[in-house]
């Protein structure tokens, strides 16, 4: 029977780690004392096995379990359950990584566009993509649409709603999406570009699926969704069955420090259908280290049989001045997202947006020079 | 405009805490630098306000923000977003509690049965309720149904599936639910009791809603659902629109240590519709302290205008020997759940189950004596 290899970082004394690892294997498979397992099928196939233990230091160990893929049944929620259901309640256990069998991934949505698909839509191949953010929430629909228009004139590839924009009375989803999409189309007619608008989709399944219908009706070009906020099972169903455009994953509520960000954002969000993955970049408002950010980007882009690459989108307090450094760090396979700093330009928003876009183009050219 | 008061535990130097609290208020409302906020409505109504700062020690502070309820729009995902969307990515910020305006709660499912409703269904008023767990996963349907039958003969009030039971090939959801429900009904006819069966519901929205249909068709008496696993927005929609029976919330995947368990399990799961809330009890397989467990139980049962009480269900490595202690700790308004330890009795399962049930009855009588 095919197995998923799941790696945890476990805090335990060296003398105890073998017993602790065995308990973990019970907890994440049969969830009973060992002596309750009397059935041969359960013992041979369902029971988790300790595959390896590697000590990191006196206190921390990397434990890899082999868990039966059949217990996960190709379902998102059940996969999370088997990876980290009860053990998430154990303070000494962190979920670090998982390796899935080749035939496992076909159960899930996976990126439908991926990096290549996004590039084709934006007609941009030899440079990082660029992204701006519509905010603050509380502005009326007309003000948001006007911002959209100016960002698009400035030439960014993608304009995303602030993830705080939902279906509030002051800028209802339907009216906002219609107005912003029209504003972007108007700018596109003037510039000849194909800037995409990605509205923020938030809600329960019924609302999300209604929002997806509106996106289709209006011909909206992308969608922004926070998988941890709406729930990963809904996210996957939304992507697989309701959205026909690239999906940008937002990290809101994903900051459960107990799941390694590179695994959660870079691998799971990708497996479940994100074409691009936003994450808090180092040196901004958030405390992720450069190494952690590189690991997220690496996981999002790494070759994975049957699963398209997803575009890394470092964000959170980025500025135009940092563009050369960011391109130096991530190369061209990235989308740079600048939010508040473009908005701070006030009336000069379009000019600063254009500076951003041009700076990216220049840095990219330098990078591909011999 | 009505405000939600949200409390965070923030790590910062005393000299910095005011600035850190102001940043938090920006992050959780407009998510832009302060100078981007030019619109009067946004400034007066949408912008988060620091309500109070209370220093816990030199390093930790309790920061309470007043956030606009309108930004949350009565939606589960958006409420999570405003409470802890981006700040979940900040290692120095933990979500501790929130107080909602009175008219806020009516947007959500809330317990439809609550403690009183559960007691009425079980016809048990003056003692803790009792619960056993069907496991390990991997057993065929007939073996699980047989366990159900024997647990029900033993006289527990509720039999819950192990949360690991989903829709696997070795015990498919439909066949399992039909067989277990029939087994419980057969036992009920023999005992004259009304033991309830709570199948574990896991999946994406489409599967969950199909599972709910089967529960209705089969007349199943309760449901076990892990809100963190399927996503809180789906959980709430499932309860509000698809289930007509009491809902037992399981804590799988809820162990994001960054949200206080008493708030997440005791208040949010309750607000979103749990009639009973399972949590890892102190002194078992999990490391929650007695104080933390009491706080979860307190929150689940506390008076809350417009929101029925939810029944606390301490669990995780409990034994019959601990019944007196547990009743001493929690009183009668509790459901005691014993899992693996009943199954360890093997052929004596029914006898040990009956011991469990009788021990609870005896302890409860003592407690209500003068």
- At residue B207, does pLDDT exceed 90? yes
pLDDT score, position B271: 84
What is the SS3 assignment for A325?
helix
Put simply, the answer to whether A253 touches B81 (Cβ < 8 Å) is: yes
B24, B32, B72: which to substitute to probe chain A, counting the most A Cβ within 10 Å?
B32
- At residue A368, does pLDDT exceed 80? no
Q: Which residue of A has its CA nearest to B163?
A: A81
Per-residue pLDDT band for A61 (boundaries 50, 70, 90) equals: very high
* Higher-pLDDT residue of B52, A119: B52
- At residue B31, does pLDDT exceed 80? yes
What is the SS3 assignment for A146?
helix
Collect all residues of chain B within an 8 Å Cβ-Cβ radius of residue A203: 75, 77-78, 233
Type and span of the H or E element at A4: strand A3-11
What is the SS3 assignment for A18?
helix
DSSP A322: G
Question: Distance of alpha carbon B355 from its chain centroid, rounded?
Answer: 27
Nearest chain A CA: its distance from B120 CA (Å):
31
pLDDT score, position A255: 67
Per-residue pLDDT band for B24 (boundaries 50, 70, 90) equals: very high
pLDDT score, position A370: 43
pLDDT score, position A288: 79
Output the six-digit token pair for B156: 């527990």
Strand blocks (E) in A17-100: 49-55, 60-68, 93-99
Cα–Cα dist B334/B353, whole Å = 18
- This prediction has a pTM of 0.84
The residues, any chain, with a CB within 8 Å of residue B217's CB and separated by 6 or more, are: none
Q: How do strand A49-55 and strand A60-68 relate by DSSP bridges? A: antiparallel
DSSP A110: -
**Share above pLDDT 70 across residues of chain A, in percent, rounded to a whole number:** 96
Upper half-sphere CA count for residue A61 (Cβ side, 13 Å): 23
pLDDT digit string, tens, across residues B105-117: 888 888 888 888 8
pLDDT score, position B370: 43
Put simply, the answer to whether B233 touches A205 (Cβ < 8 Å) is: yes
Output the six-digit token pair for A181: 């999409």
* DSSP per position, B219-284: T---EEE-HHHH-HHHHHHHHHHT--S-EEEP-TT---TTB-HHHIIIIIHHHTT-SEEEEEPTTT
Average of per-residue pLDDT values in chain B:
88
- At residue A337, does pLDDT exceed 80? yes
Collect all residues of chain A within an 8 Å Cβ-Cβ radius of residue B226: 77, 81, 85
Put simply, the answer to whether B163 touches A81 (Cβ < 8 Å) is: yes
Q: Are A207 and A215 in contact (CB under 8 A)?
A: no
Torsion angle in degrees (nearest 10) through CA of A135, A141, A144, A145: 160
Collect all residues of chain A within an 8 Å Cβ-Cβ radius of residue B285: 23, 27
Cα–Cα dist B64/B54, whole Å = 9
Q: What is the mean pLDDT of residues A291-297?
A: 92
Q: Which residue of B has its CA nearest to A165?
A: B71
Q: Which of B30, B163, B169 is closest, CB to CB, to A138?
A: B30
- At residue A208, does pLDDT exceed 90? yes
What phi, psi does A271 have (nearest 5°)?
A: -55, -40
Per-residue pLDDT band for A365 (boundaries 50, 70, 90) equals: low
**Share above pLDDT 70 across residues of chain B, in percent, rounded to a whole number:** 96
- At residue B355, does pLDDT exceed 80? yes
The residues, any chain, with a CB within 8 Å of residue B15's CB and separated by 6 or more, are: none
Any idea what the Cα angle at residue B10 is, between residues B4 and B16, rounded to 5°? 110
Upper half-sphere CA count for residue B323 (Cβ side, 13 Å): 28
Collect all residues of chain B within an 8 Å Cβ-Cβ radius of residue A45: 138
From residue A194, alpha-carbon distances to A122, A146, B27 in Å are 6, 17, 31
A6, A12, A36: which to substitute to probe chain B, counting the most B Cβ within 10 Å?
A36
pLDDT digit string, tens, across residues B326-348: 999 999 888 888 877 888 888 88
The highest-confidence range among B162-166, B213-217, B293-297, by mean pLDDT, is B213-217
B137, B165, B239: which to substitute to probe chain A, counting the most A Cβ within 10 Å?
B137
pLDDT digit string, tens, across residues A256-289: 546 677 887 788 778 878 788 888 888 877 667 8
pLDDT score, position A369: 44
Cα–Cα dist B228/B263, whole Å = 13
Average of per-residue pLDDT values in chain A:
88
Output the six-digit token pair for B254: 């809820």
Per-residue pLDDT band for B365 (boundaries 50, 70, 90) equals: low
Q: Which of A29, A33, A136 is closest, CB to CB, to B36?
A: A136
Q: How do strand B276-280 and strand B129-134 relate by DSSP bridges? A: unpaired
Give exposure, A274-286, as e/b (b: 16+ Cβ within 10 Å): bbbbbbbbbbbbb
Q: What is the mean pLDDT of residues A232-257?
A: 86
Torsion angle in degrees (nearest 10) through CA of B36, B41, B44, B47: -50
Nearest chain B CA: its distance from A61 CA (Å):
19
Q: Are B319 and B299 in contact (CB under 8 A)?
A: no
Put simply, the answer to whether B84 touches A136 (Cβ < 8 Å) is: no
Q: Are B316 and B325 in contact (CB under 8 A)?
A: no
What angle do helix axes A232-241 and B232-241 make, rounded to 10 degrees? 80
Put simply, the answer to whether A46 touches B170 (Cβ < 8 Å) is: yes
Per-residue pLDDT band for B120 (boundaries 50, 70, 90) equals: very high
Cα–Cα dist A337/A353, whole Å = 11
Strand blocks (E) in chain B: 3-11, 49-55, 60-68, 93-99, 129-134, 158-161, 196-198, 200-201, 223-225, 247-249, 276-280, 311-315, 335-338
């Amino acid at each position: 029977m095919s197995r998923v290899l799941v790696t945890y970082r476990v805090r335990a004394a060296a003398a105890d780690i073998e017993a602790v690892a065995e308990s973990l294997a019970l907890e994440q498979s049969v969830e009973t004392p060992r002596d309750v397992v009397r059935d041969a099928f359960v013992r041979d196939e369902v029971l988790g096995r300790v595959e390896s233990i590697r000590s990191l230091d006196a206190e921390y160990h990397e434990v890899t379990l082999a868990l039966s893929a059949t217990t996960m049944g190709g379902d998102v929620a059940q996969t999370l359950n088997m990876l980290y259901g009860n053990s998430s309640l154990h303070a000494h256990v962190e979920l670090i990584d998982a390796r899935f069998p080749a035939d496992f991934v076909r159960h899930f949505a996976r990126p439908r566009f991926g990096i290549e698909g996004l590039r084709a839509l934006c007609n941009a191949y030899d440079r990082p993509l660029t992204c701006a953010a519509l905010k603050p929430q509380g502005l009326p629909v007309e003000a948001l649409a006007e911002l959209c228009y100016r960002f698009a004139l400035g030439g960014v590839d993608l304009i995303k709603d602030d993830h705080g924009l939902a279906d509030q009375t002051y800028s209802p989803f339907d009216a906002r999406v219609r107005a912003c999409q029209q504003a972007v189309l108007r700018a596109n007619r003037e510039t000849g570009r194909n800037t995409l608008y990605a509205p923020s989709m938030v809600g329960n399944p019924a609302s999300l699926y209604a929002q997806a219908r509106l996106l289709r009706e209006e011909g909206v070009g992308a969608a922004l969704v926070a998988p941890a906020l709406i729930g990963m099972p809904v996210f996957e169903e939304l992507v697989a069955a309701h959205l026909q455009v690239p999906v940008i994953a937002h990290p809101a509520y994903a900051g459960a420090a107990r799941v390694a960000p590179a695994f959660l954002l870079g691998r799971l969000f990708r497996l479940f259908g994100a074409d691009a993955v936003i994450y808090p970049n180092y040196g901004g408002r958030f405390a992720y280290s450069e190494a952690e950010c590189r690991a997220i980007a690496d996981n999002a882009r790494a070759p994975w049989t049957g699963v398209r690459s997803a575009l890394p989108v470092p964000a959170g307090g980025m500025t135009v001045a940092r563009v050369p450094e960011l391109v130096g760090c991530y190369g061209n396979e990235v989308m740079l997202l600048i939010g508040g700093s473009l908005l701070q330009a006030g009336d000069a928003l379009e000019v600063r947006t254009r500076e951003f876009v041009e700076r990216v183009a220049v840095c990219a050219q330098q990078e591909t020079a011999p």
